[in-house]
Every structure is written in C-alpha cells, then in structure tokens.
Amino acid sequence: MRAGLLVSYVGGRGGSVPGRTRTAGGQQVRELSVPMPRASDDPLAGVPRNFQRPCLLLLIGEKPSHGYDLLERLRELGFKQADPGMLYRSLRAMEQEGLVTSDWETSDLGPRRRTYVLTEEGRDWLHAWAGSLRETERILRLFISRYAAFVGEDSRQG
C-alpha cells in the first residue's frame, strides 16, 4: 500500500463521506485516506487529458503537418508515449469541429498523406487555451514560490 495522508472530517451536514468513523471529544470524526501523489516517469501525468489538443493546434499552426510528423513533434513537447490512435481521433474530431482542415498530399517518395492546416477558428481556440494556461502557470508559480518558502522555513527549524 502506498503512503497517504490521513484527513479527519468532523461530522456535519452533507452526504456520506467515505472512510472510517471514530468518536473524538464527543463528536463523530470521519477519517479519510488520501493517496499521496507519486513521482511519475511521465512528465505530463499532471496535465489535463485534453492538453494534447492545444499542443496539436500549436504544432499545426507552426507549419501544416501530417500525422506522423505531428506524432514526432508531440514527443518534443513531452508526450513521450504519444498514442497514434488517439492522435488521429483528435485530428478527426478537430477537423469536424472546424479547428483544422486537411487535404491529401501526394509525394514521389511514398504514399499519399493527409496534411492538416490550422483554421481561423482553430487559431482563436488556441489563443483561448494559451490564455487559460497562462493563468494556470501564474497560479502554479505562486504555489511553488510559497512551497519553497515553506520548505526553507521548515528545514531551518529542524
């Protein structure tokens, strides 16, 4: 069993709270076991599952691209184990939503490839995502800064 955090919840209003119940100081206390986060080999383990979408839009915006090229370039953005099936499903969905368009491109060097191009709507969607990510970055920086101060204070006491 991995390490966790034990959180006590003093009974009150609301629905049922999972965990073990005990009595402390005459009150019902519910203890919850909250799993501790694990260090992961996947640097993107903590990002939203749909984070691949703005990454794809950015890559396509940088230059029109085909699926294999996008798969390789996604790896440069930290998607070490990018799933080709998920990639192509995302591209089809984004095309249906009007965020990208695609055309078949012929090549003397190999088979035809579908090349994806960012639309104006896709560009607008990408800008909205970037704004949201900037705000998330600001909040994360505040957390990290306060955490660093906390750890620094904590280590001086011990």
Q: What ranges do the domains of the chain cover? A: 1-35, 49-138
Amino acid 116: pLDDT: 98
**pTM across the whole model:** 0.68
Amino acid 9: pLDDT: 44
**pLDDT greater than 90 at residue 158:** no
- Within 10 A of 84 (CB to CB), how many other CB atoms are there? 11
Amino acid 153: pLDDT: 66
Q: Which of 8-22, 29-43, 94-108, 132-146 has the lowest mean pLDDT?
A: 8-22
pLDDT range class, residue 6, cuts 50, 70, 90? very low
| pLDDT tens digits, one per residue of 58-109 | 999 999 999 999 999 999 998 888 889 999 999 999 999 999 999 999 888 8
H helix or E strand, kind and range, residue 144: helix 120-157
**pLDDT greater than 50 at residue 131:** yes
Alpha-carbon span 54 to 42, nearest angstrom: 19
Q: Is 55 exposed, middle or buried (0-12, 13-18, 19+ CB in 10 A)?
A: buried
For the chain, the first-to-last Cα distance in angstroms comes to 28
Which CATH code is given to the segment(s) 49-138? Answer: 1.10.10.10
Mean pLDDT of the residues in the chain? 81
Mean pLDDT (whole number) for 2-27: 56
Pick the more confident residue, 20 or 148: 148
